[in-house]
């Protein structure tokens, strides 16, 4: 009896699975910036699920059941790569029972493969902290990288969903135009802070600094992924003024206390930057992300001394 | 760029060799005499020479290949490109004209002049699976190593450990007194091809016995949400059964797992899982095992002695919390299974056992970001039925067990935890009165507390205290433990 009803339930579920109508391309984005980019390029041709939020450290995500379930139905996975998700994506992919999105197949897209990576370690040793062999994975802080990823992602969308290839190409073209204009605006606005020196909580901003011509004096974390000791904070406080550190920047998901502690004592500004889409009220999409990032940076660095923004 | 990083990685590896050689040599000759030192120096020089030659050879071969690639790239660039390609170049030409920063100083000899700027503006081809993987070593499986060690205090002799009312498997003991190595683990894993994944976990116990903990292959691309696994592996029943010991929140396994499953059901078999195509996580699975692991066992079975079914479901409650819960049923057969008892002849059991498990785990972290604080609550409920002959006397009956535990990270690096576990056996009369399966009216139970300090996500130190009533009278136990992970970054199950 019991067995039969169980079988019926299982059959019903299987039928449901078989009769779902052909619908929008299902996209699983590992981080919010790629989710936002997929929405820009895919429009109504895609449904985007974003696995993490701007309040979460993408290095440390639990391999949650909800993520397994979402991966099961995904047609395209968009991750940063460069080992950013090494602590959770491999196990999710193995449990997802979905051959379309395994690494190496067209349904698996890594943004970091589309750009040139910086901070490639010369010494691969965990004594250096949680380093990434392939290079710094936080590529989304430079809009030029977003542009490069957008172009590659548009091609990949067309490959995975050829029926809508023209739509993806059109949207990509439009996005590239708007993005170029916006980038010029950001670069102009940020010209004022070119050459200034900042400190960062984690090595999250290498690409942003590279784009805007900022110098990084060091990080509040003594080594990637290692929280600072009070001794180390004291060392920064004694060293950073000589390097003329004007601001200490951190992300929405990081504990602000370390950055604020150092900033206050060296008469610099602690600036929270959204880091990704959703990291602040204004960072609702990729354009808002950089509008807000540039405003916070420029205002913070121009404002000079004191307090937190 | 991929290639650049690989070249660097190779060099980093080669750089390590002489150092590793020295360390090994030093380790092997504790009483280093002058001769030995001279030998060592010679050996080091040899290695240095070898390393330099190897480096040169690699460098030149990479340079040649890079030149070829650059030529190809130029050729491709001059050809008329497709529409999306054009967008890419529009974007990059409008970008601020300065190229991305130079590579960090002193890392690269000036042998890759043309590639860096080209790479900065021209995105790599979108689909180049394995395009850059040219080294022989890059197909090596990922290797992870876990090192464990303890210092333990047991009020009562752990060698004569028993749990009142239950026969125990050979792994169920609490460990040994004093300083000892824990289980060392070596894990290799890789994809075999686009369809198969393989995993080998070797376990080395403190007495230098190597055993295969897991050795399985698993499908990666079956249709319909199916995953097939074959080999030796931890069964998917319950919650803790699948978790390797280095991921446990306590230094020892919960009592019901110890008593009913000899800590974990690990056997040779096949597993089929089906993942439902729903946003609610729902997974159904079944396994058939050879039936050699406790509570199965004995020489006379036919090699298909154990089977089980399990179902797990779960999801996110909100941004901060998620859960998984499940039901499992395990059927095992035993034929003249022997279990040892200290100071008495072995017990035997022939018959079948049914084990039902209900498991739940709940995880919470502010905004789902576990870095600063996180909480993990879990509990499992066991009902176990034996039907057969114990020491040739008919035995049938239910026993139960459960554990509940909490682990809370209250600030980065620090975690505290508490656990209560118990198993309830049966009072026996007749010929089995006073035997291993007679609990003499007591409930075996234990309460534990732990404090953890993590140097990083790869280094863990734990102090645990147990008050253990497994044998009736209480026993105080304390364990100081380290669990260190080396090598490939192991991703952990939920």
Strand partners of residue B351: B334, B388
Exposure string (b/e) for B263-288, b if CB count within 10 Å is 16 or more?
bbbbbbbebbbbbbbbeebbbbbbbb
- Residue A268 near residue A244, CB atoms below 8 Å: no
Which pLDDT band, with edges at 50, 70 and 90, does A225 fall under?
confident
Nearest to B189 by CA among B494, B458, B488: B488
Nearest to A102 by CA among A113, A89, A116, A112: A89
B148 Rama sector, left if φ>0, alpha if ψ -120 to 50, beta otherwise: beta
For chain A, percent of residues with pLDDT exceeding 90: 84
Task: Determine contact: A135 vs chain B, CB below 8 A.
Answer: yes
- pLDDT score, position B298: 74
Helices (H), A73-135: 89-95
Q: What is the pLDDT of residues B107-156, one digit of tens each?
A: 333 333 333 333 333 344 433 333 344 456 678 899 999 999 999 999 99
Which chain A residue's Cα is nearest to B313?
A65
Give the containing element (helix H, strand E) for A186: helix A165-190
Which pLDDT band, with edges at 50, 70 and 90, does B248 fall under?
very high
**B36 or A173, higher pLDDT:** A173
- pLDDT score, position A127: 86
- B456·A13 Cβ contact <8 A: no
Q: Give the count of Cβ contacts less than 8 A between chain A and B.
A: 243
Average pLDDT over residues A134-157: 97
Residue B93 has pLDDT above 80, yes or no: no
- Predicted TM-score (pTM) of this structure: 0.81
Residue A265: CB atoms within 10 Å: 15
B242, B277, B458: which to substitute to probe chain A, counting the most A Cβ within 10 Å? B277
Q: What is the pLDDT of residues B432-452, one digit of tens each?
A: 999 999 999 999 999 999 999
Residue B292 has pLDDT above 60, yes or no: yes
Three-class SS state of B298: coil
C-alpha distance from A218 to closest chain B C-alpha (Å): 14
Q: Can you state the percent helix, strand and coil of chain B, rounding each to 5?
A: 25, 45, 35
Average pLDDT over residues B89-105: 38
- pLDDT score, position B242: 96
Burial class of residue B308 in the structure, from the number of CB atoms within 10 Å of its CB (0-12 exposed, 13-18 middle, 19+ buried): buried
Q: What is the pLDDT of residues A254-280, one digit of tens each?
A: 999 999 999 999 999 999 999 999 999
Nearest Cβ partner for A147 among B1, B95, B322: B95
- pLDDT score, position A9: 53
The mean of the pLDDT values for chain B is: 82
Which chain A residue's Cα is nearest to B102?
A118
Catalogue the E-assigned strands of B140-265: 142-154, 178-181, 184-193, 196-204, 210-219, 226-234
- Residue B102 near residue A119, CB atoms below 8 Å: no
Residue B283 tokens read as 């997974």
Residue A110: CB atoms within 10 Å: 21
Which pLDDT band, with edges at 50, 70 and 90, does A210 fall under?
very high
Task: Determine contact: B137 vs chain A, CB below 8 A.
Answer: no
- pLDDT score, position A23: 81
- B220·A102 Cβ contact <8 A: yes
Three-class SS state of B101: coil
Task: Determine contact: A47 vs chain B, CB below 8 A.
Answer: no
- B126·A159 Cβ contact <8 A: yes
Residue A148 tokens read as 């490069």
C-alpha distance from A98 to closest chain B C-alpha (Å): 6
Residue B13 has pLDDT above 50, yes or no: no
Task: Determine contact: A304 vs chain B, CB below 8 A.
Answer: no
Q: What is the pLDDT of residues A58-74, one digit of tens each?
A: 999 999 999 999 999 99
**Cα A134 off chain centre by:** 16
C-alpha distance from B129 to closest chain A C-alpha (Å): 5
Give the containing element (helix H, strand E) for A3: helix A2-19
- Nearest 5°: the CA angle B111, B140, A226 is 75
Nearest Cβ partner for A134 among B5, B103, B412: B5
Give the containing element (helix H, strand E) for B35: helix B34-78
Q: Note if the bond before B167 is cis, omega within 30 degrees.
A: no
Residue B98 C-beta-side C-alpha neighbours within 13 Å: 9
- Residue A48 near residue A29, CB atoms below 8 Å: yes
Which pLDDT band, with edges at 50, 70 and 90, does B303 fall under?
confident
B2, B12, B91, B224: which to substitute to probe chain A, counting the most A Cβ within 10 Å? B91
C-alpha distance from B176 to closest chain A C-alpha (Å): 32
The mean of the pLDDT values for chain A is: 91
C-alpha distance from A264 to closest chain B C-alpha (Å): 22
Residue B11 has pLDDT above 50, yes or no: no
Strand partners of residue A46: A25
Q: How large is the angle between the packed helices A165-190 and B83-94, nearest 10 degrees?
A: 0
Q: What is the pLDDT of residues B333-387, one digit of tens each?
A: 999 999 998 888 999 999 999 999 999 999 999 999 999 999 999 999 999 999 9
Distances (CA, A) of A252 to A255, A283, B5: 8, 11, 30
Residue B83: CB atoms within 10 Å: 15
| Contact partners, residue A212, CB within 8 Å, separation at least 6 | A187, A190, A193, A194, A297
């Amino acid at each position: 009896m019991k067995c039969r009803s169980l079988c019926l339930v299982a059959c019903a579920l299987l039928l449901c699975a078989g009769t779902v109508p052909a619908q929008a391309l299902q996209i699983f984005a590992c981080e919010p910036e790629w989710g936002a980019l997929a929405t820009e390029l895919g429009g109504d041709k895609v449904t985007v699920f974003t696995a993490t939020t701007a309040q979460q450290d993408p290095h440390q995500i639990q391999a949650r059941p909800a993520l397994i379930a979402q991966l099961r139905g995904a047609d395209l996975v968009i991750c940063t790569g460069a080992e950013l998700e090494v602590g959770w994506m491999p196990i999710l992919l193995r449990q997802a029972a979905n051959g379309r999105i395994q690494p190496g197949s067209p349904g698996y897209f890594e943004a970091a493969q589309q750009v040139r990576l910086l901070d490639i370690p010369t010494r691969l040793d965990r004594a250096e902290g949680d380093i990434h062999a392939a290079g710094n994975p936080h590529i989304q802080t430079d809009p030029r990288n977003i542009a490069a990823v957008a172009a590659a992602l548009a091609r990949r969308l067309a490959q995975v969903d050829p029926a809508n290839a023209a739509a993806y190409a059109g949207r990509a073209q439009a996005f590239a135009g708007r993005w170029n204009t916006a980038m010029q605006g950001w670069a102009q606005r940020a010209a004022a802070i070119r050459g200034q020196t900042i400190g960062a909580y984690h090595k999250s901003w290498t690409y942003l600094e590279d784009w805007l011509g900022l110098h990084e004096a060091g990080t509040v974390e003594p080594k990637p992924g290692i929280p600072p000791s009070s001794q180390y904070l004291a060392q920064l406080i004694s060293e950073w003024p000589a390097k003329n550190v004007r601001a200490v920047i951190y992300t929405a998901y990081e504990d602000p206390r370390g950055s604020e502690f150092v900033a206050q004592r060296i008469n610099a500004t602690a600036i929270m930057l959204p880091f990704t889409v959703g990291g602040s009220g204004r960072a609702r999409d990729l354009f808002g992300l950089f509008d807000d990032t540039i405003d916070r940076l420029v205002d913070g660095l121009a404002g000079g001394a004191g307090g937190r923004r | 760029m991929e290639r650049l990083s690989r070249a660097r990685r190779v060099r980093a590896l080669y750089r390590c060799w002489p150092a590793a050689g020295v360390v090994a040599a030093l380790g092997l000759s504790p009483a280093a005499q002058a001769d030995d030192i001279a030998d060592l120096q010679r050996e080091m020089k040899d290695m240095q020479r070898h390393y330099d030659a190897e480096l040169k050879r690699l460098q030149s071969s990479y340079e040649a290949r890079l030149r070829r690639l650059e030529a190809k790239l130029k050729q491709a660039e001059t050809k008329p490109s497709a529409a999306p390609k054009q967008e890419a170049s529009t974007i990059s030409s409008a970008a601020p004209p300065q190229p991305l920063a130079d590579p960090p100083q002193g890392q690269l000899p000036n042998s890759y002049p043309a590639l860096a700027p080209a790479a900065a503006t021209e995105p790599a081809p979108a689909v180049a699976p394995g395009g850059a993987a040219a080294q022989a070593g890059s197909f090596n499986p990922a290797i992870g190593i876990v090192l464990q060690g303890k210092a333990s205090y047991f009020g009562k002799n752990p060698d004569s450990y028993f749990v009142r009312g239950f026969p125990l498997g050979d792994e169920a003991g609490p460990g040994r007194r004093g300083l000892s190595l824990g289980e060392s683990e070596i894990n290799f894993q890789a994809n075999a091809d686009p369809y198969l994944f393989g995993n080998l976990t070797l376990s080395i116990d403190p007495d230098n016995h190597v055993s295969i903990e897991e050795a399985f292959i698993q499908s990666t691309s079956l249709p319909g949400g199916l995953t097939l696994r074959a080999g030796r592996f931890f069964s998917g029943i319950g919650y803790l059964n699948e978790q390797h010991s280095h991921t446990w929140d306590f230094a020892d396994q919960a009592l019901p797992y110890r008593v009913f499953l000899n800590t974990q059901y690990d056997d040779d078999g096949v597993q089929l899982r089906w993942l439902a195509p729903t946003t609610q996580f729902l997974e159904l699975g079944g396994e058939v095992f050879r039936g050699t692991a406790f509570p199965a066992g004995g020489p006379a079975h036919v090699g298909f002695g154990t089977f089980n079914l399990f179902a797990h479901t779960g999801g996110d409650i909100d941004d901060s919390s998620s859960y998984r819960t499940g039901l499992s049923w395990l059927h095992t057969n035993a034929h003249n299974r022997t279990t040892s008892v200290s100071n008495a002849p072995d017990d035997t059991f022939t018959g079948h056992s049914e084990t039902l498990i209900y498991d739940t785990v709940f995880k919470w972290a502010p905004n789902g970001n576990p870095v600063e604080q996180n909480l993990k609550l879990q509990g499992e409920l066991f009902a176990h039925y034996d039907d057969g002959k114990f020491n040739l006397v008919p035995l049938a009956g239910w026993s139960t067990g459960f554990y509940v535990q909490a682990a809370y990270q209250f600030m980065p690096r620090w975690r505290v935890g508490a656990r209560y576990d118990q198993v309830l056996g049966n009072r026996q009369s007749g010929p089995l009165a006073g035997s291993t399966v007679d609990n003499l009216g007591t409930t075996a139970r234990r309460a534990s507390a732990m404090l953890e300090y993590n140097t990083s996500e790869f280094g863990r130190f734990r102090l645990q205290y147990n008050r253990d009533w497994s044998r009736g009278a209480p026993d105080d136990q304390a364990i100081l433990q380290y669990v260190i992970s080396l090598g490939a970054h192991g991703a952990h199950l939920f």
